[in-house]
Structure 1
Amino acid sequence: MATLLTLLGEYAFETHRRTRTETRNAFLQLSQRAETGELTEIVPFVQQQRRDEQQFVEGHLNDLRDLVWNLLGAIAKIAQEESDEDASLRQQIQKLSLQTQRPEALDIHTLRHTLQSITQVLEQREQRHRQTLQQLQGQLHHLMRELAQARRESTTDPLTGLYNRRAFEECLHHTVGLNRIFNYPATMMLLDIDHFKHLNDTFGHATGDEALKHVAEHIVRVCKRKSDFAARYGGEEFVVIMRETTLRDAQKIAHQLAEQIRRSPLPVPHGEPIRMTVSIGVSELQPNEEADAWFRRTDALLYQAKQTGRDRVVA
Structure 2
Amino acid sequence: MTTTTLLHVLPAVVPAAGWAAHALYLARRLRTVRTDPLTTLMCRDEFTGRARRAVRHPDAAVLLLDLDDFKSINDTYGHAAGDQALAAVGTRLEAWCRERHDFAARLGGDEFAAVVRLAENADLQAELLFGLRARLGEAVITTTGALLYPSASIGVCRALQRPDAGLPELLRGADEAMYTARERIGL
TM-score class normalised by the smaller sequence:
0.7 to 0.9
More helix by share: 1
CA distance in 2, matches of 1:238, 1:219: 9
CA distance in 1, matches of 2:49, 2:23: 21
- Which residue pairs with 2:28 in the alignment? 149
Could you tell me which of 62, 83, 88 is aligned with 1:209? Answer: 83
Note the alpha carbon deviations across 1:231-288, whole angstroms, 9 max, x for none. 1111001111114x335344322211112333x2322456552333211001211432
CA distance in 1, matches of 2:106, 2:50: 13
2:97 is equivalent to residue 218 of structure 1: no
1:174 is displaced (CA, Å) by 2.0
- Which residue pairs with 1:255 in the alignment? 130
Give 3-state SS (helix, strand or coil) of 2:89's partner: helix
Give 3-state SS (helix, strand or coil) of 1:223's partner: helix
Is this contact kept in 2: 1:191–1:278, CA < 8 A?
yes
Could you tell me which of 49, 72, 75 is aligned with 1:170? Answer: 49
Could you tell me which of 158, 172, 177 is aligned with 1:296? Answer: 172
- Quickly say closer, same or farther: Cα 1:132–1:185, change in 2 above 3 A: farther
Matched length: 177
TM-score by length of 1: 0.51
TM-score by length of 2: 0.82
Give 3-state SS (helix, strand or coil) of 1:163's partner: coil
Letter in 2 for 1:246: A
- Which residue pairs with 1:90 in the alignment? none
Letter in 1 for 2:185: G
Is this contact kept in 2: 1:246–1:284, CA < 8 A?
no
CA distance in 1, matches of 2:125, 2:50: 18
- Quickly say closer, same or farther: Cα 1:224–1:274, change in 2 above 3 A: same
Is this contact kept in 1: 2:42–2:105, CA < 8 A?
yes
Could you tell me which of 81, 98, 119 is aligned with 1:246? Answer: 119
- Quickly say closer, same or farther: Cα 1:135–1:174, change in 2 above 3 A: farther
More strand by share: 2
Is this contact kept in 2: 1:250–1:282, CA < 8 A?
no
- Which residue pairs with 2:181 in the alignment? 305
Is this contact kept in 1: 2:58–2:159, CA < 8 A?
no
Letter in 2 for 1:238: F
Is this contact kept in 2: 1:189–1:282, CA < 8 A?
yes
Unaligned runs of 5+ in 2: 1-6
- Quickly say closer, same or farther: Cα 1:133–1:289, change in 2 above 3 A: farther
Is this contact kept in 2: 1:281–1:299, CA < 8 A?
yes
Is this contact kept in 1: 2:94–2:103, CA < 8 A?
no
1:195 is displaced (CA, Å) by 0.3
Is this contact kept in 2: 1:191–1:239, CA < 8 A?
yes
CA distance in 1, matches of 2:102, 2:64: 13
1:184 is displaced (CA, Å) by 4.3
State the structure with more CA Rg. Answer: 1
Higher relative contact order (CA 8 A, sep 6+): 2
CA RMSD of aligned residues (A): 2.5
1:137 is displaced (CA, Å) by 2.5
CA distance in 2, matches of 1:280, 1:237: 10
Is this contact kept in 1: 2:93–2:132, CA < 8 A?
yes
Letter in 2 for 1:229: F
CA distance in 1, matches of 2:146, 2:178: 29
1:132 is displaced (CA, Å) by 5.5
Letter in 2 for 1:261: L
